[in-house]
Every structure is written in structure tokens, then in C-alpha cells.
Structure 1
Amino acid sequence: MLNGTMEHVVKHSILCSYVLSQPLVTYVDAYPELQNKILMETEQLEFGEHGESIKLLQKKLNKLEYFDSEVDGEYGVLTAHALKNFQADYNITINGQADEQTIQALIDTEKDIYLKQIQSLSTEVYPGLTGENVETVQNALQYFGYYKGNIDGIYGPLTKEALITASNEHDGIELAEAPAVKVTVQNKVESEALKAQASNAGEKENAKEEKEEEKKQVVVEGINGGSIVAQAHSFVGVPYVWGGTTPAGFDCSGFIQYVFNMQGIETPRTVSDMWNFATPVDSKSVGDLVFFETYKPGPSHMGIYIGDGKFIHAGESRGVEITNLDNEYWKERYIGSKRVMQ
């Protein structure tokens, strides 16, 4: 059996051979690492030629900021001028030709840029994170052919798998784990418990009962809320499947039920049952449920509030993802928040 790295290389070699054998294939549509192989195995490009290979050459020169004209596939004066400028900067014979040495230098320079992006950001991104850093990493991973998903800025299972592959093939790439949820309310609970113990004997039993109820409430709103959100984050990128209740694929209510069950909390299966099961709240807290009216009257979609005006949910188009409550679509359909009480 091939290991992951060898399998990756074999797949690339086979695919490259296939692409080169197809006279009408659009090389520009191939992923960048395959484009590199195509350029290196193509006969030397000459001034006056035109075609897909010239487009690949122009795209690389454009990426490195040597070519700012239209990528038209024409090896003319502008392309030759860009090549001469590149050759001058990298101590290559200045002839404006796309010879093997120049092509290899272009590829090495571009590859180094993307590799440095992965190396510098790999410890800054982690499962569940969203944003520009994740998008940059995904784009760089896609360049090498490691990442096959959408460039969406969401660190899900595909991004993690791609980073693992990259770390096996390149030095300087370290994977970060999602930061632990800070439990700040526990100290408050313990402090209150000590105060209760210091109360007089006549009130001790009542104080204990009140404190148990307070502790239970704080756990639901704080500790469990953070744990639930952390658990939910780990499934970002899992695809949407109608009726799905496992990490192989979730629908919106199946996702919620699975996350809560992982925390030892049993909940109903459907959105409407969850709406009736949970307790209404005036102000949302981390771990609360947010409900929406979408394709039919009444609650028909839900997610978990994660703070900062955002919620995590299993959406039909992109699977488990993080969305802003101010998003026009969801803002218009929001009908309330509720809390699961133990």
C-alpha cells in the first residue's frame, strides 16, 4: 500500500501524463502544481507562439508582478519584456526566452512564496477558525494540490487534512489545535460555595439547595456553553445531508442533537421539538440556540450562538459553517433564542 506522500506523487504523475496527452485540454484550469509540471514538460516556448502554455507563463509572471497586461496567450513583446526583467532580477541570462532555467526559476520563486505563507500561518489557524488567514492558507494549499475544497476561509476537515499532507512533505509546518475554552465561571461557583459553608447552621441547608441550583444554572450558561461551542467548531466543513445525524453528514437539527449528545445532554430530534423543549431567553449567551423561520411557518432552522453576533449551523449549501446573524437572509428570518436547561 502507498503511503500518503507517495500516493500524492503518483496521482500527480498520472494526471500530468494524461493532461499532456490531451491536445484540447485547458491547462489554465489545472491546479497550479500540475501547471508547473505541464510547463516543465512542454517544448521550449518561442517568441510569436500562442496557446495555453503561454497563458500559464503569463499568469506566473503576473503573480510575481512582472506582467501586468492581459493574459492572452500571445508570446509577444510584453511577455518577452517581462521575462527579461525577471531574468535580470534572478541573475539569469537576459534573452527574453522561456528557456528551462527561466521556467524553473519562475516555478521555484512562486512555490517559495506559497510555502512561506503556509509555514507562517500554520500555527495561527486551527479547526473552526474563519477569516482571511484561513483563506490564504487554503489558497496556498490548493497551489500544491493538497486542498480540494472551496476557498471559503473556513478551517474544516478538508483544510486540516491538506495541512497534514503538507506538513508531511515540507519542513516548518506545524499544526495548531483549537484553543481550549476558558472556564471563568467555575471560580465564581466555588467562591459562592465557600460563602454558603460559612453561613449559620440554621440557614445552611437552604443555602446549599440555592447554591446547587445556582451552580447548575451557571454550568449551563458558561462551562457547558463554551464546551458545546468548541465541540460544534470541530465539525466545520462537514457536508449537509438531509436527515443526517453523524459527522458523515448533518442536517440542521441532526447537527444540534449530535453536538449536545456529545456533551451528555439529550435533546429532541426536530427543530420544532427543540423549539418547544428549550427555554426562551431575552439575551443570548454562548451555547444558546437561535431559531429561524425559513421554508415554512414556525421554526424550521436552528444553530448554536457562538458569540460576537455569530452562530454555527448546518446549512444546505455549505454544510456546517459559521454565519453572522446580521446576514440579511438570516436577520430577516430570525425568530428568537432559547436555552437548553439540564
Structure 2
Amino acid sequence: MTSRTATAIVSSVTVTSAMFLIPSVTEAALGEQTLRPGMEHADVAALQEKLTETGHYTSRIDGTYDRPTIQAVRQFQKEHQLTADGITGAETFAALLGKTAEAPAEYITDQSAKKLNPQNTLSPNTSSIDVKHLQTALGKIGFYEPEHATGRYGATTEKAVKRYQQARGLTSDGIAGSTTIQRLNDEIVLSPTMQTASATSTIIRLWNEGSHVKDLQRSLKNAGHYSGGITGIYGPKSEAAVKSLQQANGLVVDGIAGPNTFNALKKTTPSTSTGGASGASPSSASSGLIRLWSEGSHVTSLQKNLRSLGFYNGGVTGIFGPKSQQALKAFQQSAGITVDGIAGPQTQRAIEQKEAAKKEPAPDTPTAGASSTSTSTPSMLRLWATGSAVRTLQEDLKRLGHYSGGASGTLGPKTEAGVKDFQRAMGLTVDGIAGPKTLQAVQSAKDTSSNTSETPGSSAGSGNSGGGSTGQTSDGMLRLWSSGEAVKTLQENLKRLGHYSGGISGTLGPKTEEALKAFQRTAGITVDGIAGPQTQRAISGAPSGGNTGSADVLLKPGTRSDSVRELQDRLKAAGFFSGQSTGYYGDVTKKAVTDFQKKWSLVSDGLVTQKTWEKLEEVSSIYLEDAVKPDNSSGSGSFNAINLIADASELIGIPYLWGGTTTSGFDCSGFIQYVFKQNGKNLPRTAAEQYNASTSVSEPRVGDLVFFETYRPGPSHNGIYIGGGQFIHSGSSTGVTIASMSSSYWSERYLGARRLK
């Protein structure tokens, strides 16, 4: 006898640690502070740019330490055997900037470049003094930081060689062969004094780093050619800005910032400061413009004004990051100004005028009753607003049936959609912004439905008891999250009509709402998921065809459920349906049902009543009998319940198949029959027959059968009790699996336990 055995496999991973040289403030733009999730800063943009270079980051470089950034950092940390915590600290910076101790200290000598031997090919994963000379030579012409020359041919060196080869039109394989070395030797001879950019004779090329690069980026930003972060890394974005400047000034467009480029830049931007140490924004001194990553007191003032006007809810940092820019764009859109996220003279004047007007008494100021915290509650709640006012709005929208998310206190896209839905229902301008009119309408709607309570039995005192319904509003509507007796009745009716398969909970949740929409769709009513008077009348009067009582209808056209799939399977077995069992009760299924009814002299209206179902079950069961027939001779034999459960557990994961009795697929009773057959017990084929072949017991014990009433009255589903309030069965949507008898679905449908006779 077999049994399921769980085997735990424990993997042991040995992590090799490495020593890192921590970069100083002057060595690079990165590494000056620990960067953490949630930060918004130019250094984060530099981090993202560096991670983009390494191939770990593919999202937008926006300076926000968000989920994609965290994932990229973690992936990088894992690859470099660092603690994968998603926080960019000193060790991560060191690895990212290639400052690993790749070679013994004796390789680190002077930084002077020496000619290399073209006959000596240098390849990755080697260490030698020649490698160090290669690194120094590459550093002299801007492809490698010479102070990082270690003599170890690692990934950083390989990338530098590849970049050099690409720039010179050589085969880009990352190997310093004779052709690459000879070309490099020629350039060293031609440029004996070229160093890593200093003061006035600076030449800055792609991937140079340092304070001189920061100065260049600030100047380019002042001149309007650069909108990126002041990172100190001369990446593709900085190079493109230099090319833009060169093209505008009639220079050779090569992206290399040399003397001519610096002279043109000096003429373009009036001298304000050389190093940006004055504290003024690099973008404001000469032009008065505030752009992305501008910094200074004027940015602080702008953030305060945008916050006062209800467009900004972030921190007053003095740094014009993406969040500030988004707020500015929102203001520009509302003021009818070109939306570019740049605070120029026109935008700044408009903000000042709005601020001045705001200080005067306004005739449309919301009344005190609109908010209990009028002094602190923002007059407008927009996308990405946060705080208690947003939380209150979410709770109100949820109560009114326009929002189904959590009360997080952040106005995200889902909340915005809820605001729009409410505005649409109230005939307001649909913009997703909760301004004074919208907030007042929410309050009014709340007051109108103040008799609605989440707790059954509580009185709201509005006089509209509605027969005990706690979720029915004064207009008789049942919406998402309504609760009470009226909702219970609605769920029972929807279940009776075949549109709802959940529990009778008395709360109109998403599943009930979906069932309501399905009914409205089939009844030709506006599909909004709200049970208003028209929908409620239609439900109470459905179906209206033939002489069939509505309470007798199990399934009808328009229904989509597992029960319909079983109906189609049974019709197929009886020879009346030849299509695919889709679970949707369409015209083809209706015709098959009508033909079956005509054949057996039933009311041929295409509706599956109790009589129709019983006859179909009787007829189709004839075709479902397999070679295993009930054998009463072994019916009194005993079996080992533990072995029975072990065999049943071996079948977990086998898919559900209506009519299935083999390991290719089981239906519920086919699974029971198969498992008991394996243990010497032959049972009848259907759940109803197995019910009759067993005796009722008050409490189940391991090995007993447990029966449930699902799509029709009587035993229509069963499983084997395995103890601990659980049973194993073949579910139509799960296949063979273990389920809890205390779950809301099964506990409501439980008929009882039975033991074989």
C-alpha cells in the first residue's frame, strides 16, 4: 500500500565575502550618502543611471527610489555576494563603482601610462602588471578611472575595453589583442598630457566621473540643454546635452566637452558660480526657471505655494524632484498654461496670483459642515495625495459603493477611479479630483444614506427601517458593501436564478455585485451592479416563461457557472449536445435542453427545472456507468481507513473531469468509487447512489463519506473525511484536493456524514 511522503530538501549556499575600498566624497558622485527605498533625490537618479549601465535597471530614470530600483539593487547585490537588502550603502556603492580590491596591493603603483606590448594579448580574469598598464592607458583617454587601476582584468576593465573598441571601430570583444593595444599605444603617444579632467584644461568624455562633471552638468542645465540629475557621472544623457550645445553653437558635434565647448558654454550662461556652492538653484540664477532637480530657497517657496493651493503634498525639501514637477504640471493644466513641468515667469506669476486670491474671502468657500478639520484638510485631493483626509474619502466612497480598495490614506489610481465613478453618478465634472464640490457631494450622499449601518440590528434613526435591512439606502438601492436582510434576500434570489454561487452572507461584496451584473445583462437592464427598483422587480418576477414557477428553476439562459458545465456534459452524454462544455448557458445549450424536454414529455421551455434535472440525471447516468459495477459480495468487507486516505492523497492534483473515473480525471463520485475500489470496496457510481448505499452518522470519523448539497437539492457532491475538519474530494474547479469543512462555502452546503453499510 502506498502513502504520500513529503521530503524536505534543504539547500546550503556558501556565500563568499569580498573586501571593498570605500569611495570618498571626492572620488565619485555616488556614495556620499546611504540611499534607501522611498527617497527622492538626484543621487537616486545617479544610482539608477549606474544600474542602467550595468544592465540591472530598465525603468525610467526619475530619481525616485521605488520598487523597480529596489529590485535592481537587490539583483546587483546578489550577483556581487552582498547582503541583498535593496539599500545602497557603502559596500554596494563600492561594488557598483568598480572599487573592489581585485588585486594585491603591490599592483597599485603610479598612475603613469606606459606603452603596452602588442604581442601580449590581455584577457578577462587575469592579473598582471600589464593589465594595470592597460587600465592606466585607458584612463588617460577617458575610458577608465586610472585611480581604479588594480592589475586585475575584471568585469569593469572588460567593459572599458569594449567601450574603447566600439568608439574606435574595432571588434568589440573586450579582449585587448594586438590591434587594440597598438591603437591604444598610438593614442598615448599623441596625448601625453591628457589626464582625467582637471580645472581649466578639462576634457570630459563619456563615463568620466567627478566634481568637474557636476559643474558641467549644472552649466548645461543653466543653458537649458540638460534636464537630468547633477550626478557627477558623464553618461549618455550628459553627452547628448553637450552635443545639443555644440550643435547650437556651430561646433564639431562629438559629445566631448573640450576647451571650445567650455568657451561656448561660458558665453551661453552668465557667470554665477563655479561650483554651485552658493546654494542658489543652478537653474534660477541666470534664467529664473525652475526645472527638474533645481535646488534652493526659491524651490522651497514654490513647493509651499503648490502645497497651499492643494497641488502638492510632499515634503518641502528645496529640491524640485519628480513629485514637485508632477504637482506643477497639475497646476499648469488647471490654469490653462503649457504643461511642461518648468516653472517659468508665466507659471510663477499665475501661482502668485492664485495665492493672492486665496487669501481673500471667497464666496464659494466650503461651509464648516463640509469638514470637521477645515483648517488642516486640503481643499483639493488629487492623485497621490496622502493623509487622513484621503483615508476618510476612501472610507466614504467604499460605503457609497464607488470604491472597493483599502483605506490606505494614499489617493492612488484605484481611488481616483472611485472618485471619477462617484462624480459620474452625481453629474459632476469627471476629473478624479476631490475638490470642494465633490467633497460636499460625498458628504451629502453620506447624509442621505446615514441610516445605513454595517452592523445588523443597529438603528440609524432615519425612519426607513426597510424591514430590517441595514444596507438598503433611503432610495431603496443596494450597492457594493450594502449589508442586511435585503442583501440576503437578493443573494438567495440570485442563487435561485443561477447567477450566484457564493454564501448567503448578507453583505453585497464583489462576488454578489458580479452576479447582479450578470442578471442585469441577461434581463436587458442597465449593467451597473446596483439593485435599484427596476432590477429588484425583475429579479422577483424572473423567470416569466411557460407555466414553470420561478422557485423551481435551477438553471436558465445567460447563466455562467460550473453547474452549467455539468448540464452540458450530461446533455452530451445523453446525446443532445455536441459542442464544447463552456459553462455558459447560451442558445445552443437552450436548444439542447428544449430537445431533451420534448423527448421526455416535459415542459419544453429551455429552462432547467427540478424535474428536468432529475430526468437528465437519470438518463445520463446510464451512459456514465463504467465497467465497475456495484458488487454486493464485497460490500460487507472491512478496509483500513489509513490506507484509504493514503491512496486518496496520492491522487491530489489530478484534474476534475465530469464523468471521469480514472487517473486521467475524476468527478466527485468517480473519485470516491476509484479510491474505495483500490481498498476492496465497490460503490455505486453517482453521489446520490453512494448516499443511499451508506448509513448516517452524527459525527464523521476518518474514512467516512461527507455529503454536500451544491447545485440542486439533495446530495450532489461528496468527499472522504480525513480528520481535523477536513475532507479530500475532486472539485470542479480544483481537481483532487483537500478542503476545510468549516469554510463558508462547504459549511453552508453540508448535508451530513455517512458510513458504508
Greater share of helix: 1
Q: Identify, as 1 or 2, the structure richer in strand.
A: 1
